[in-house]
Amino acid sequence: MRVLPLDDPGTPDLSSPGRYLRWLGKNQLSTLLGGLIFGIAWMLSQALTPAAIGQGVNAIRRHDTSALWMWAGAVLGLGIIMATSGVIRHRFAVTNWMVASFRTIQLLGEHLAVTASPITAEIPTGDVVNTMASDATRIGGAYDVVARFVGAIISYIVVAIIMVSTSVTLGLVVLLGVPLLVTGIAPLIKPLQNRQMAVREQAGKLTAVGADTVAGLRILRGIGGEQVFFDRYQSRSQAVRKAGVAAATPQATLDTAQVALPAIFILIITWVGARLTLSGEINAGQLVAFYGYAVFLIAPLRTATEFVEKVTRALVGARKVLRVLTIQPEVRTVNLVDVADGDQELVDVATGLTIHLGTFLALCGSDPTATAAVAERLGGFATPFGTYGGVALTDLANDEVRRRIVVSETEPRLFTGALRHELDPTEQATEFDLADALQVASAHDVIAALPNGLDEVVEERGRAFSGGQRQRLALARALLAAEEVLILIEPTSAVDAHTEMAISERLYEARRGHTTVVVTTSPLLLDASDQVAFFHGDQLVAIGTHRSLLEREDYKATVLRGED
């Protein structure tokens, strides 16, 4: 049994879609070979059955009972082989499809976890979702059909040899007819590929519009914009429909060809075979066998067209996958310099802000976006990156930066799964650590209200929790993850004043001796901080305690917003 996800999906060849598909095939060569062996056996048993039936008909014509029983046994044996190999071939086909699909999904997931922002900045979120949900399975479909395709080719060659040895005329009809039929389908492939790509593009845009609308539904209702976005989604939906209709023409033509061309082929073989029988060149048993061959050859032809179609879809999907995988992360992941433990300073080179070890510092400004940008630079998420211990964050490995500096964003994100694992993904925290973090974040009441406590399953995006509850749980998670430096962006913006006061007092005590940076305009958090760095726009204009900075009119106006 193949265990998914894989321990190591490997390093893919991203030079072209075709090379990526070949790389996938090499990584599951054993199951592909297994599928080929049983696919060939499955197809050959079908190909040889008409020959056995034809010999049985001749035995009846000769009144040869022993030969009849022998060939009847041969038909039974071929049927058993056909059934057994068909079941095993199908198992290999499903395995090949799943492994190729999930290897691609795993590569995309791991790359997204490392790269994230550069990908969503270049590719719409909906397009990324479609790549994982749709394109990956299309890639797997190519490996599902490959065993049947090879079996179809070999069985076609075997049948052609049998027919040529029996009748040169009929053999040539098969040898020349089948390639001509397949060649006739070839002009449909390029238009189909182009139009499938157009459908894929429109579907990605539609998903992006839908995701944006659902995420901002509450805001849209507040400003009365539901109808505008409904009309926008309807317009995109119609664009997908039109692209789908355009792609349906070559698709329908291809499907028609899969039925019509084999039917014409059978008609030709039957007509030629009947004339040869009447002229005495072949006997009745051979005619029956030839008709069986003609019926059987529908399967190889259909398999060939299916193979072309699925490989076309796989190439389209691989092109989309490579578009995501070739985007590089902003932060380099090569550890160039080591940072010693000790009294390390965190510096924002853009503003000159210096944060000393163990300081509880608040960032406050007239423009919340500018102060949040300072926090992102200090955490290594935006350029120009800050420095830590005199070393630029770009000269540290990503793992090293994340081990030393934890940034909790203003928008709390919760993921599906047990709440305990959500708060402590590394599973290193003790029950005491969990309880202490929840107490500091004033989230103990959230846990108490859950039927299963910390073992409660979090729904998608934590939608069962209110905004304030999600924010407090995210704060508890950040406290459990942080060691040296913790950066919090508006950690109490969604909670009431009483809860905010409790968090302010407990947070300061919990982080005593550790570097903490809080982006906020809350007087409670500002007053609990050792120092406040005040920004006007993106310029650092003053550093001091909250009470001392209240003597500045601009600071007072920013913090108190006209209140006494």
408, 437, 438, 479, 528 from 509: Cα distances, Å? 19, 12, 14, 12, 10
How far is Cα 185 from Cα 256, in angstroms, rounded to an integer?
10
The gap from C-alpha 77 to its chain's centroid, in whole angstroms, comes to: 45
How far is Cα 310 from Cα 140, in angstroms, rounded to an integer?
9
Each residue's pLDDT tens digit, 163-176: 788 888 777 776 67
Of 210-224, 274-288, 295-309, 425-439, the poorest mean pLDDT is in 210-224
- Please measure the distance between the N-terminal and C-terminal CA atoms of the chain and give it in whole angstroms: 69
Output the pLDDT for position 41.
93
Output the pLDDT for position 277.
81
Structure tokens at 388: 């830590």
Q: How would residue 333 be classed by pLDDT, with cut points 50, 70 and 90?
A: very low
How far is Cα 364 from Cα 342, in angstroms, rounded to an integer?
27
Radius of gyration, alpha carbons of the chain: 34
How far is Cα 113 from Cα 9, in angstroms, rounded to an integer?
15
Please compute, for residue 44, the number of CA atoms within 13 A of its CA located in the half-sphere on the CB side. Answer: 16
- Mean pLDDT, all residues of the chain: 83
Q: Is 465 helix (H, G, I), strand (E, B) or coil?
A: coil
Q: How would residue 564 be classed by pLDDT, with cut points 50, 70 and 90?
A: very low
Instruction: State the DSSP string of 275-314.
Output: HHHHTTSS-HHHHHHHHHHHHHTHHHHHHHHHHHHHHHHH
Question: What's the rounded mean pLDDT across residues 53-79?
Answer: 91
CB 87 within 8 A of CB 50: no
Question: What's the rounded mean pLDDT across residues 404-427?
Answer: 83
Task: Report the sign of the C-alpha dihedral through residues 224, 229, 234, 235, in that order.
Answer: positive
CB 31 within 8 A of CB 91: no
Question: What's the rounded mean pLDDT across residues 366-387?
Answer: 89
Q: How would residue 401 be classed by pLDDT, with cut points 50, 70 and 90?
A: confident
**Does residue 66 carry a pLDDT above 60?**
yes
Rank 27-36, 218-227, 233-242 by mean pLDDT and report only the highest: 27-36
Output the pLDDT for position 542.
95
Of 214-228, 325-339, 462-476, the poorest mean pLDDT is in 214-228
Output the pLDDT for position 83.
95
Domains detected in the chain: 17-325 (1.20.1560.10), 346-560 (3.40.50.300)
Q: Which amino acid, one-letter code, is at 300?
A: P
Output the pLDDT for position 562.
45
Q: Which amino acid, one-letter code, is at 310?
A: K
Closest CA to 395 of 382, 405, 408, 386: 386
Neighbouring CB atoms inside 10 A of 22's CB total 12
Each residue's pLDDT tens digit, 356-370: 989 999 999 989 899
CB 467 within 8 A of CB 411: no
Q: Is 176 helix (H, G, I), strand (E, B) or coil?
A: helix
- Which ranges in 326-367 belong to alpha helices (H)? none
Q: What is the dihedral of CA 286, 287, 293, 295, to 10 degrees?
A: -160
Q: What is the pTM of this model?
A: 0.60
More confident residue, 96 or 159: 96
Q: How would residue 260 be classed by pLDDT, with cut points 50, 70 and 90?
A: confident
Output the pLDDT for position 342.
53
Closest CA to 401 of 411, 392, 410: 392
Q: How would residue 7 be classed by pLDDT, with cut points 50, 70 and 90?
A: confident
More confident residue, 60 or 226: 60
**Does residue 289 carry a pLDDT above 90?**
no
Q: 487 pairs with which residues across the strands?
A: 407, 517
Q: How would residue 220 be classed by pLDDT, with cut points 50, 70 and 90?
A: very low
Each residue's pLDDT tens digit, 439-457: 999 998 889 888 888 888 8
How far is Cα 165 from Cα 276, in angstroms, rounded to an integer?
14
Output the pLDDT for position 81.
95
10, 93, 135, 315 from 98: Cα distances, Å? 16, 9, 13, 17
Output the pLDDT for position 487.
94
**Does residue 247 carry a pLDDT above 90?**
no
Each residue's pLDDT tens digit, 101-118: 999 999 998 888 777 667
Each residue's pLDDT tens digit, 97-156: 999 999 999 999 888 877 766 776 677 776 777 788 888 888 999 998 988 899 888 888
Q: How would residue 216 be classed by pLDDT, with cut points 50, 70 and 90?
A: low
284-296 vs 298-325: helix crossing angle, rounded to 10: 20
Q: How would residue 305 be classed by pLDDT, with cut points 50, 70 and 90?
A: confident
From the number of C-beta atoms within 10 Å of its C-beta (0-12, 13-18, 19+), residue 18 rates as middle
Question: What's the rounded mean pLDDT across residues 331-342?
Answer: 53
